[in-house]
Amino acid sequence: MAHKHSIAIYRNTDTSTDLNKIGVIIPFDTTVRQDSDYTITSSRVTINFTGIVKVYCNIDYGTTSVIRTNPTIQIFKDAIAHGSISGSAYNRAAPNIMSSTNLTEIIVVTDGDIIDIRCDVGGAIGVVAMRTSGTSVLFFERLE
């Protein structure tokens, strides 16, 4: 039986939430496209099918005052850390530091699972936020 192809794309407008803290849910607050297999509430995406989904996330970071920051991101499924950690956004010097990190995972899901992306501190402490509205993305694609 063939599965129904579906996608969801979310972007940010928030550029002030400090993502260089433990457990912060990355704020994706703009829906670009959302097929019926997905719903979003407070940056948490509910999966409305049982199967396999590809989750891709790219975060565009910026800071103006903190050196040696490296916020990490990880996918959470039903509030439990799932899969790889991405920490490729090392910021060496200030001011106006810009970097990005991304992560892709293939996840087996059950109808009702909730997926979100959370941050952690991977370097120096200090405020790091999404740099510009619309430059960070959370993407879902139903594979099965």
List the structure tokens of 78: 């039903």
pLDDT score of 61: 86
- pLDDT tens digits for range 96-105: 678 888 999 9
pLDDT score of 86: 87
101 near 71, Cβ under 8 Å?
yes
pLDDT score of 99: 83
User: SS3 for 8?
Assistant: strand
Distance, C-alpha 41 to centroid of its chain: 14
pLDDT score of 139: 98
Distance CA 143, CA 108 (A): 10
Across the range 115-132, mean pLDDT stands at 88
pLDDT score of 67: 76
- pLDDT tens digits for range 16-37: 999 989 999 999 999 999 999 9
Give the torsion sign (CA, 14, 16, 19, 25): negative
**Residue 13 carries which side chain, given as an amino acid letter?**
T
Q: Which domains does the chain have, with CATH numbers?
A: 7-142 (2.60.120.40)
Q: Confidence class of residue 93 from pLDDT cuts 50, 70 and 90?
A: low
Distance CA 8, CA 67 (A): 34
- pLDDT tens digits for range 25-77: 999 999 999 999 999 999 999 999 999 999 999 999 887 777 788 888 999 99
User: Comparing 141 with 127, which gets the higher pLDDT?
Assistant: 141
User: Comparing 5 with 44, which gets the higher pLDDT?
Assistant: 44
A 10 A CB-CB count for 55 gives 23
